[in-house]
Amino acid sequence: MRKVITGNQAAAWGVRLAKAQVISAYPITPQTTIIEEIAEFIDRGDFSARFIKVESEHSAMSGCIGAAAAGARTFTATSAQGLALMHEMLHWAGSGRLPIVMVNVNRALAPGWTIWCDQNDSLSQRDTGWIQLYCESAQEVLDTVLIAYKLAEKTLIPVMILLDAFFLSHTAESVEIPDQETVDAFLPALDFPYKLDVENPAALFGAALPDIYQEFRFKQQTAFDTVIDELHRIESEYFQRFGRQYGEIESYKCEDADIVLITSGTVTSTAREVIDRRRENGEKIGILKMKLLRPFPTLSLASALKSARKAAVIDRDISPGCGGIWAQEIKASLSDVPESQRPVIFSCIAGLGGRDITTETIEQAIDITIKDDFPAQEIYWLGLK
């Protein structure tokens, strides 16, 4: 079935097809239409799930944690301030190793008060023990929800799926909605091995003394180490059933590229247009789309950038006092690669607080990167007034 739906509706469809059992959520723009759509599915009887209305995002995640601990497939969605309020519970879910799936619609953080797009909200939750997957299209959102449940349930790591506010959350496009039977075959019911059971009582998440705490973290890291391989396996099954796959990164025309633009989210689509046009002029430019933030795809990134001389990272975010967060991550991960086999990184900040990143912005980033052999500035502020 093909439908014209928004990114948020695509997320809701993904949750419905995944047969999530408990949705515990609190409204916040621009996420609200996800849970509204889910509520309508439930109300119409198209989707059988328990919808828990809670009083805050902290409680929304707590509800998911409780339900997941009881063995239910759970879902929540939030944005910006909501995600920030959820912070403590993100750790509980992450280190509690509960296979929760959440959609966060990337919205800039206040103050100044805003509802528009940037990625600071989720990037600042980098260390909470969640897998993070950034999406570019509504189709990718739907597919990623289904893939995320399988990945979370296989690795016992919760997954956060990221959508750019409005550019993706509220923009409608044609989406292929898979049939339920095929989804069921791909994603069987959850069987959480540590679920609470009245017949065999246990308390989860009790104390860990200094003699054992570190071992829990070791195990968590070990689990993260398996994520990329699992993702490959799951996506290859997904591809067989549904004909689509995305990868932890996507390398677009990088093979012979001298200069690579590194993007995430919807900026990638705009960049594709620019690159296609400039390639017609003979410029060897490619795009590297970052989908996975955690675990960080160091090896695939290094491999994709092997032949590039220079790369421009477009960050729709900033770690104040340091710079673009994606740029930091990329620089750090490439530091072990010999200089001859890695590009010089140009760090560009653009589109904060929902400002449009247009083709002109992308052109500017490319021009800056072409102009100098080494960056003249630590940060290039694109379109700064």
| Nearest approach, Cβ of residue 320 and another protein (Å) | 34
Report the residue number, 58 or 284, with the smaller CB distance to another protein: 58
Among 215, 225, 273, 276, binds another protein (CB under 8 A): 215
Residue 95 engages another protein in binding (rule: CB under 8 A): yes
Residue 226 engages another protein in binding (rule: CB under 8 A): no
**Coil, helix or strand at residue 374:** coil
Nearest to 301 by CA among 283, 319, 289, 310: 289
Residue 209 engages another protein in binding (rule: CB under 8 A): yes
Query: Which of the 8 DSSP states describes residue 353?
Result: G
Query: DSSP of 286-304, one letter per residue?
Result: EEEEE-EEES--HHHHHHH
Among 1, 198, 207, 384, binds another protein (CB under 8 A): 207
Spatial separation of the C-alpha atoms in residues 87 and 292, rounded to whole Å: 20
Residue 204 engages another protein in binding (rule: CB under 8 A): yes
Residue 110 engages another protein in binding (rule: CB under 8 A): no
Report the residue number, 47 or 130, with the smaller CB distance to another protein: 130
Quick one: how far is CA 140 from the chain centroid?
11
Strand (E) or helix (H) holding 211: none
Spatial separation of the C-alpha atoms in residues 263 and 241, rounded to whole Å: 28
Residue 201 engages another protein in binding (rule: CB under 8 A): yes
Report the residue number, 213 or 239, with the smaller CB distance to another protein: 213
Single out the segment in contact with another protein by CB under 8 A; choices: 18-26, 142-150, 211-219, 356-364. 211-219
Burial 38-63 (b: 16+ CB within 10 A, else e): bbebbeeeebebebbebeebbbbbbb
Among 4, 188, 219, 256, binds another protein (CB under 8 A): 219
> Where are the extended beta strands (E) located within 13-84?
22-25, 50-53, 74-79
Beta-sheet pairing, 2-6 with 172-176: antiparallel
314: left (phi over 0), alpha (psi -120 to 50) or beta: beta
Among 211, 336, 339, 373, binds another protein (CB under 8 A): 211
Single out the segment in contact with another protein by CB under 8 A; choices: 10-18, 32-40, 173-181, 205-213. 205-213
| Nearest approach, Cβ of residue 308 and another protein (Å) | 38
- Greatest Cα-to-Cα distance within the chain, rounded to the nearest angstrom: 70
Among 84, 109, 156, 337, binds another protein (CB under 8 A): 156
Report the residue number, 156 or 379, with the smaller CB distance to another protein: 156
353: left (phi over 0), alpha (psi -120 to 50) or beta: left
Single out the segment in contact with another protein by CB under 8 A; choices: 9-17, 29-37, 209-217, 251-259. 209-217
User: Is residue 258 within 8 Å of 285, Cβ to Cβ?
Assistant: yes
Quick one: how far is CA 173 from the chain centroid?
20
Quick one: how far is CA 27 from the chain centroid?
20
Among 10, 117, 223, 330, binds another protein (CB under 8 A): 223
| Nearest approach, Cβ of residue 71 and another protein (Å) | 14
Site for another protein in 315-374 (CB under 8 A): none
Name residue 314's amino acid. I
Single out the segment in contact with another protein by CB under 8 A; choices: 20-28, 164-172, 194-202, 342-350. 194-202
Among 189, 205, 236, 255, binds another protein (CB under 8 A): 205
Write out the residues near another protein by the rule CB under 8 A.
95-97, 156, 194, 200-209, 211-212, 215-216, 218-220, 223
